[in-house]
Structures are given as structure tokens and as C-alpha cells.
Amino acid sequence: MVSAEGSNSKTAEVAKKIKELLIESPDDRVDAARLDELRKVFAQRTQDMHATTSSNSTIQLKWKEFLQQKHKLFIKQLCDRIAQGKRTAIRTIWGVVATTPVPNGDHNIVSTDLLLDWIRAMSFVPDVMEDKTIRNMLQAEFLNPYRDVQYYTMIAIARCAHELYGKQMEGKDIAERAERILEILTMMQLPTSQKDLDSQGGLLFCPPEDAVPKDDSNDDAEAIGFDDASEDSSESDSEDEQPAAKRAKISAAKAIKPMFTFQKVSCHRLAWSKAWLAMLKLDLPPIALKKALRFLPGNVLPLVPHPLRFSDFFMEAYNHGGVVSVLALDGLFLLITTHGLEYPNFYKQLYRLITPSLLYVKYRTRFFRLLDKCLTRNEMLPTHVVAAFVKRLLRCTLVAPVPSVLFVLALCSNLLRKRLEMACLVHRNDDEWKDGFDAETDDPEEANALQSSLWEICALERHYYPAVSTLAKSVGREQELSTPLYNLDDFLAHTYQSLFEQERNKRKQQKGKGTVPLTFVRPDSLFAEKDVFHGLLAVPSSQLHKGAN
């Protein structure tokens, strides 16, 4: 009896302390200390909040309901401060996640509900993308060190994205919130293999060695890849061999130690895929859309079970036009060449992207690299289509910056040497011939490029920049057939700054040698030939050569 009274007295003291600590303070430091003290109090009562109570234990039931109710209020106060960008509140809620696991059979797991509350709050932080301190803190202290936290965070992001999608359907503006959640998603470093998952990063809640996952037969099959991720490979097997192969894989899996979902790389990849697919359904602002298009080809498509599920997103972005189409080209080309996506209008849309303004944009290097792959690696592409690309590219170079002109000339030179059928475009000099090229159409099939000539090369031979002029004079010449193809990576590195530095280094090497080029033709007087003062200050040729020597 005394023991029960003592326990009730202690419970009353804890309840009183919780109520006092829930009173907010206007001072930021005092308020942060108050929330951290609350975290410690609730950490000591975790078992009471998740305890199973009998129906006749009214006191325990009321105590459990009290703790859960006050804990929700505590989390709400934390989330309100996180939404204001308070870094101390972010660390505090991480402490809550670390001290408030959710019982799952004979082991504890990370609370997805707490992570969902945290993601919701982070979607309101105004400077989560610009604040490097917050970004480094998220990556170094929370997302990357613990693989189970990473796994359940991806699940929480998918749930939050579905909530935002519902609000989007109601006509509410969720663009800024979606952009901030996308930023958190891009901070994660997903393991590339089961070995990486086992060796890199730890677990916040390690399951006991004797713990057994629920439905371990299905889990084992999924752990070795016989799940949603192996659909493509299993379809290739014959109907007779498929059941036997399946039984063999499951038998092999049973010999392996059972693993929980957060310990399997296949489950991480599936959660990664679901989180991204849920985010890409949202109306992302232009900056976030461009970031997603740059991130997906190298960090998502190679890892997800079914990359083709992202094809609708890439095709829609590819048809968007402008810089968005240029960025979508990378992922779409990867889906076509690696994963068998059929997109008949790919080259038609690629042809439409080639405009003079494209040769000035920030992402032109990325576009040039992919354009080279699209035109040189596809041997099934008809010659008249390749000729249309060459003609349109050279037409654009007439008003393009020097770095872009140099790359296009090198690319066209390689294509002319690979496609000898296009030699007529360079050597056609019939005076009665009429140019049949249609520069207005956006369809390379209808451009009639083979009925034209590359007169643009002759114009570039008179370019003001000597390197352009020299390169243009060599394009399509017979002497080029015996020389190796250009390494286009060398031309991708060109910028106005690099070209300027290159010329300046030449001047330094030539300094004092009297060979600094000032003009194409050595002058014999100060004034031009048709000038009224021509010959007035003429220098005798003997002295001119003497001075040069």
C-alpha cells in the first residue's frame, strides 16, 4: 500500500513538472532549455507511453493517455519552432526520435510519425536551402549516419508528399513547401549495394541478434532481389524454369540470416523510388524542377527498381521547352538507351531544341555532351536526319559564341567522317543547283538537308577568331579522312576565359621574339592603300625585313 502511494506521488510530481515545462517562454535560450528538459522527462517515460494496460487498470490507462496527450503538445511546440528555423529545436526533435522508439515485436524501430512531424515542420523553414549550417547538420548528424533513420525518413517524405498532393488538388499553393522537402531528399546518400549498406553507416536502433522479422519467408525472398525490383528479370525466364528458379532463390534465402526491411538494400531502393515518385507528382517551382532533373539521372535512375516509372515525368519535362528540356534530355536518353523506353519523337524534339539561343545558355555543355551521344552512337539513325542536325547546328553557329562554334565544328567534322554519304554537302558547287533545305520546319525528316550544302563552313572560314577559321577550313576536307576523330571533351572545356588565357600565354611565350601577330597581312605603311596619305611614311621593304630579323 505504501509502495503504491509512493508511486502515485512520484507520478503526480512528474505530471506537475510536465505541465510546468509546457508553459512557453519568450526568451529563446530559456525556451530551448525548457524543451530539452521536456525531452529528457518524456525519454524516461517511453515505456509508460507504449505500455499495454489491462482493462481494469484505470490509473495506468489515464496516465498513459496523459503522457501521450502532453507528448503531442510537446512535439507541436517543437515543430512550431522548427518552422521558424530554430536549429536548437531541430536537434531537440532528433533527440526525441532517438529516445522514443516504437516497439515492433521483439525490437524497437524509428517512429515514422515523429519523422513525419519533423518533415512537415521543415517544409516551412524559409531558408533551409540557403542555410549551409542547417544542411550540413542534417547530413552529418541525422540523415547519413543512421541507415534506419534514412529508410524511415524516405517513407515519411512519401507520406508528406501525398498529403501535399491532396492539398494541391484542392487548389492550394504548396510549391515552396515541396521545394524544401525536395531539398531534404537530395541530401540523402543511398547505398549502392548490400555491401555498402552493411559497411557504411550504423543503425539508431539495432535489433537483437535473436530477433526474427515478421513473415521472414517473404522478407528473405525480397532480400535477395525476388521482389518488385526483379520483375523485369523474372519475366525473361520461361514458364517452366520460373517456379524452379523461384524456389531455389527462396531456399538460398532461408540459409541467410533474416534481415529487417531497413537492413535490405532492395527495401531502401523501393522507399527511394516511392519518395521520388510522390515528390515528382507535385507542382515544383522552376528552380526545384531543374534541380530534380539534374539529380535524377545519376542518383536515382541507376538505383530504383523500375526506372521506367519516371518516364512520364521526363517526357513531360522534355516537351516543356527551353532549359527544362535540355536538362530532361539526360534522363530521357538514359531511359531510352539503357532501359528500353520507346519514344518515337525523341529526335524530332531534340532537333527542335537546337536554336541560336541554346548555344548561349548555362547548360549548353551538358546538352553538347548528350547531343554527341545521340548522333554518334546511334548507327541506325538515317543519314538524312544526321545531315539535318549538321545543317541546323552550323546555321546556328553564324551567330554563336566562339566556344560553341568550336565544339559544333568539331562535332560536324566527326559526323562527316563517319557518314561519308554526306560528303556531297561539302563538295557541291553546281551553279544551277537550288538549295532545298527547309530551315523553318522542326522535323528533321522533312528538312531536305541532303539537297543542300554546308555553305556555313565557308562563312566560318572568314571568322574573326583564328582558331575558328583554321578549324572551319579543315572540316570535310579529304585530308581529314586519315586523321583521328576529334576528342570532343577538349572542346567542351572551352570558355571565353579559357580562350583568353590561352591567347595570353601565347603572348608571354612570344614576348621578345618579335613575332606577336597584330594582323593577318604584314603592313608596308602606316596608312591603307586607298588612303590619301598612303606612302607618306612608307617603310622600305629591306628595312622592314631587317627589323623583323
Query: Which strand (E) or helix (H) includes residue 109?
Result: strand 107-109
Q: Distance between CA 303 and CA 297 in Å, rounded?
A: 10
Q: What count of other Cβ atoms lies within 10 Å of the Cβ of residue 279? A: 24
Query: Which strand (E) or helix (H) includes residue 470?
Result: helix 466-474
Question: What HEC string does 33-83 produce?
Answer: HHHHHHHHHHHCCHHHHHCCCCCCCHHHHHHHHHHHHHHHHHHHHHHHHHH
Q: How confident is the model at residue 58 (pLDDT cuts 50, 70, 90)?
A: confident
Q: Distance between CA 286 and CA 292 in Å, rounded?
A: 10
Helix axes 383-397, 402-418, angle to 10 degrees: 160
Please indicate whether residue 73 or residue 240 has the higher confidence score (pLDDT): 73
Question: What are residue 482's DSSP bridge partners?
Answer: none
Q: Distance between CA 19 and CA 507 in Å, rounded?
A: 78
Q: Distance between CA 399 and CA 408 in Å, rounded?
A: 12
Query: How far separated are the first and last CA of the chain, in Å rounded?
Result: 116
Query: 301 is written with which cell numbers?
Result: 535512375
Kindly tell me if the per-residue pLDDT of 47 is higher than 50: yes
Q: What residue segments make up the domains of the chain, in order of their start?
A: 11-99, 105-205+260-305, 358-510
State pLDDT tens for residues 478-487: 777 778 899 9
Q: How confident is the model at residue 432 (pLDDT cuts 50, 70, 90)?
A: low
Decide: helix, strand or coil at residue 518. coil
Eight-state DSSP code of residue 466: H
Q: Distance between CA 147 and CA 390 in Å, rounded?
A: 49
Q: How confident is the model at residue 344 (pLDDT cuts 50, 70, 90)?
A: confident
Residue 540's pLDDT is what? 57
Mean pLDDT of 105-118: 91
Q: Distance between CA 401 and CA 403 in Å, rounded?
A: 6
Q: Please calculate the CA angle 508-514-518 and round it to the nearest 5 degrees.
A: 80
Share of the chain above pLDDT 70, in %: 83
Please indicate whether residue 295 or residue 237 has the higher confidence score (pLDDT): 295
Residue 308's pLDDT is what? 95
Kindly tell me if the per-residue pLDDT of 406 is higher than 90: yes
Kindly tell me if the per-residue pLDDT of 305 is higher than 70: yes
Please indicate whether residue 174 or residue 252 has the higher confidence score (pLDDT): 174
Q: Distance between CA 18 and CA 37 in Å, rounded?
A: 9
Least confident of 19-23, 123-127, 515-519: 515-519
Q: How confident is the model at residue 284 (pLDDT cuts 50, 70, 90)?
A: very high
Residue 443's pLDDT is what? 93
Eight-state DSSP code of residue 486: P
Residue 126's pLDDT is what? 79
Output the CA torsion sign for 462, 465, 470, 473: negative
Helix axes 112-122, 147-169, angle to 10 degrees: 60
Q: How confident is the model at residue 160 (pLDDT cuts 50, 70, 90)?
A: very high
Please indicate whether residue 276 or residue 502 has the higher confidence score (pLDDT): 276
Eight-state DSSP code of residue 237: S
Kindly tell me if the per-residue pLDDT of 97 is higher than 70: yes
Kindly tell me if the per-residue pLDDT of 393 is higher than 70: yes
Kindly tell me if the per-residue pLDDT of 267 is higher than 90: yes
Query: Which strand (E) or helix (H) includes residue 103?
Result: strand 102-104
Kindly tell me if the per-residue pLDDT of 464 is higher than 70: yes
Residue 250's pLDDT is what? 54
Mean pLDDT of 381-397: 94
Looking at residue 321, its amino acid is G
Decide: helix, strand or coil at residue 289. helix
Kindly tell me if the per-residue pLDDT of 445 is higher than 90: yes
Query: 434 is written with which cell numbers?
Result: 537550288
Kindly tell me if the per-residue pLDDT of 233 is higher than 90: no
Average pLDDT over all residues of the chain: 83
H-assigned helices in 281-382: 286-299, 311-318, 322-339, 346-353, 364-376
Helix axes 466-474, 402-418, angle to 10 degrees: 10
Residue 431's pLDDT is what? 62
Q: How many CA atoms lie less than 13 Å away from 86 in the CB half-sphere?
A: 19
Residue 72's pLDDT is what? 94
Residue 221's pLDDT is what? 36
Q: How confident is the model at residue 251 (pLDDT cuts 50, 70, 90)?
A: low
Kindly tell me if the per-residue pLDDT of 69 is higher than 90: yes
Q: How confident is the model at residue 398 (pLDDT cuts 50, 70, 90)?
A: very high
Q: Distance between CA 410 and CA 462 in Å, rounded?
A: 17
Kindly tell me if the per-residue pLDDT of 5 is higher than 70: no
State pLDDT tens for residues 512-535: 555 656 677 776 777 777 777 776
Phi/psi of residue 173, nearest 5 degrees: -85, 115
Q: Distance between CA 36 and CA 44 in Å, rounded?
A: 13
- Answer for the pair 447, 453: CB distance below 8 angstroms, yes or no: no
Please indicate whether residue 539 or residue 174 has the higher confidence score (pLDDT): 174
Share of the chain above pLDDT 90, in %: 48
Helix axes 286-299, 311-318, angle to 10 degrees: 130
State pLDDT tens for residues 181-191: 999 999 998 99
State pLDDT tens for residues 188-206: 989 989 888 888 878 999 8
Least confident of 128-142, 166-180, 190-204: 128-142
Residue 436's pLDDT is what? 87
Q: What count of other Cβ atoms lies within 10 Å of the Cβ of residue 494? A: 20
Nearest to 125 by CA among 74, 176, 50: 176
Q: What count of other Cβ atoms lies within 10 Å of the Cβ of residue 370? A: 17
Taking the model in full, what pTM does it have? 0.79
- Answer for the pair 450, 384: CB distance below 8 angstroms, yes or no: yes
